[in-house]
Amino acid sequence: MNRVETCEHAGFCFGVERAVALVERLLEELGASDASGSDNKRDAFVRPLYTYGPIIHNEAVVEDFEARGVRILDGPEALKTAVPGTLVIRSHGVSRAEQELMESLGFTVEDATCPFVKAIHRRVQEASEVGRTVFITGDPAHAEVQAIVGWCESRPYVIRNEDDIPDLDPGTPVTVVSQTTFHVNNFKKIVENILKRYYNAFVVNTICNATQIRQQETEELARKADAMIVIGGSKSSNTRKLVEICEANCARTYYVRNFEDLMQQGFQPVRFVGITAGASTPKNIIEEVQNFVRSKF
């Protein structure tokens, strides 16, 4: 009998859901009737509504907000040239310098930084203020990691794998944190090596609990399934980690943004299909993929 099973924790995490809900609320609050009769949604706002970078790493959600008048400002230079309005900080957070710049330029800042990420900001700031060296496990190019770096008082080290561990004095006081969506097993391997090299290391596992559960569920499902479908945005770091987990445990893995991608990749039905999704994947996209797969049986 053919079977389709979706991970229980697939889709929006708490931080993403909170950020999207904030933009939705602001769209309602800031909208105003356009006396000119223009069809341009952006003309209908009393003040411009922006997000600092894409609100989440999902193209469909971002495109929907843009169509409804939300503009993206990507980087300090974009801030300096924009008409001040309401600006939403996305769930990944921003550096302290970026936040201060937003406020100094006259933007009304709405902070949708995930509370778990904000806690990392406070931790690295406090650790660096008392002279501890901060190690951050994660992707140096990821927006969340770049924001965390921006709350350190002294130079931090971003560690993507064991080879990135710096060769400092073994007695260096070190505080270790992690990108919230980092691969759990990679974090454990890196920490094991850090503790071998540094005897004054304090480790805080700041990987989000939802991320850990999602990765564990995905691995368990991938071991049983004949094919795995991973749904998420092309720039989603946590989704790519789910893909890595699936590929390591299931020979037939599809990485898609939506059911159209699955069609283009030539999906063929098998006995047992598993489905998982990144933290920025809306429920309706997951359901569309589920329905498409079931229609193939």
Q: Which residues are catalytic?
A: 144
Distance of CA 120 to the CA centre of its chain: 15
What number of other Cβ atoms are within 10 A of residue 83's Cβ? 10
How far, in Å, CA of 234 to CA of 60, rounded?
Answer: 11
Pairing of strands 71-73, 3-6: unpaired
Nearest partner of 50 among 135, 109, 121, 114, judged by Cα: 109
Query: Do residues 89 and 23 make contact, with C-beta atoms less than 8 angstroms apart?
Result: no
How far, in Å, CA of 169 to CA of 90, rounded?
Answer: 37
At 264, which amino acid appears? Q
Query: Do residues 162 and 193 make contact, with C-beta atoms less than 8 angstroms apart?
Result: yes
Could you list the beta-strand ranges (E) of the chain: 3-6, 49-52, 71-73, 86-89, 108-111, 133-137, 157-159, 174-178, 201-203, 227-231, 253-256, 272-277
Coil, strand or helix: which one is 43? Answer: helix
Q: In what order do the strands lie in the sheet with 253-256?
A: 3-6, 272-277, 227-231, 253-256
How far, in Å, CA of 245 to CA of 223, rounded?
Answer: 10
